A = this chain, B = another copy of it.
Amino acid sequence: MTESMENQQILLAARPNGMPTEETFEFREVPIADPKAGEVLVRTLYLSVDPYMRGRMSDAKSYVEPFQVNEVIPGGIVGEVVQSESDHLKVGDKVIGMLGWQKYNTVEATTVRQVDETIAPLSAYLSVLGMTGLTAYFGLLDIGQPKAGETVVVSGAAGAVGMVVGQIAKIKGARVVGIAGSEKKTTFLEQELGFDATINYKTTDNMEQALDEACPNGVDVYFDNVGGPISDAVMNRLNDFARIPVCGAISSYNKTDDDLGPRIQPKLIKSHAMIKGFVVQDYADRFKEGTQDLGKWLSEGRIKYEETIVEGFDNVPQAFLGLFKGENLGKQLVKVSEPSE
């Protein structure tokens, strides 16, 4: 079936210096590779673009290997098996995996995992039921450990991770304050997701005062997705024994000058506070537990999720770049093709 078909790929053309641009990416057409014994050919349905990928475009030491220049960019993909040389998967099966940013991936069947679209829509496996939801779950519950009545502040609150963080914190009985970058986002957080208070950091002229008003009892847990001046301000309001999971620092990912701010060590001493960086893979041996809880809360309607879906493989670079302009509400995905059934 693949004889006449061309595959389209997106490669890392050059490492970006500062904000990535269209020139960071290169589209290439290649023949589709026929699956060999044990392999499957997977057609991409949904493709995930994520802020952490910016880090992998640089050459610096990071928590994972950097992307290679002139190679296909790897990322989270939900797809459909369209040809199978494996006993494990059959044509029509829907799968998820870390695959290449391309329309078709030819891979060992064991490198993907089948998903069940009767439990949740396919796209959810890239958002609330995927790495995004698990990132929120483990960062908040293992590091943040919110208790009933405590105040939890989350930055990047209208992003894919932040939204889930806030809702889990509500389930645990905390007062939840979300920081986001538009009125559309803050309204959504308060009215649709039940956040107790929100701050629009783009229109607030005094972040310190806005935090004082939103957090009259100080801050017990700060789930940090953004870093920079927003985090500086939160760090001045920590309660004793505060916990700070550091999930992302999107404000710094594209900086080319030094990322300078007030040193936080004296604040940590004053508040006996703990701050820890993490990535979701740190909890790989507990994914089942997290997925079960998230699935349960989802089915009970206690967690809602939101996705911003761009259509078309050609628009993958724009969808990625939009993350750094805060264009997405919830998880940013690209819909590449329709399922066959």
Contact = CB atoms under 8 A, between A and B. Distances in A.
Interface string A167-209: 0000000000000000000000000000000000000000000
A274 B270 CA distance: 17
Interface stretch (A32-40, A121-129, A243-251): A243-251
B272 A275 contact: no
B261 A247 contact: no
Given A246-B265, A263-B259, A275 B278 contact: no
Interface stretch (A1-9, A23-31, A224-232): A224-232
Contacts of A256: none
Contacts of A55: 270
Interface of A: 55, 61-63, 224, 227-228, 231, 240, 246-249, 252, 258-279, 282
A260 B263 contact: yes
Contacts of A276: 268, 272-275
Contacts of A282: 272
A268 B252 CA distance: 13
A261 B269 CA distance: 17
A174 B302 CA distance: 47
Contacts of A240: 63
Contacts of A262: 258-260
Contacts of A278: 269, 272
Given A246-B265, A261-B260, A272 B63 contact: yes
Contacts of A273: 276-277
A96 to B, nearest CB: 24
Nearest to A275: B275
A48 B274 CA distance: 29
A222 to B, nearest CB: 11
Contacts of A264: 264
Contacts of A261: 260-261, 263
Nearest to A232: B263
B265 A249 contact: yes
Contact of A269 (B63, B231, B259, B267): B63
Interface centre among A259, A268, A277 (most CB of B within 10 A): A277
A328 to B, nearest CB: 20
B227 A266 contact: yes
A325 to B, nearest CB: 20
Nearest to A240: B63
A228 B263 contact: yes
A273 B61 CA distance: 14
A259 B260 CA distance: 10
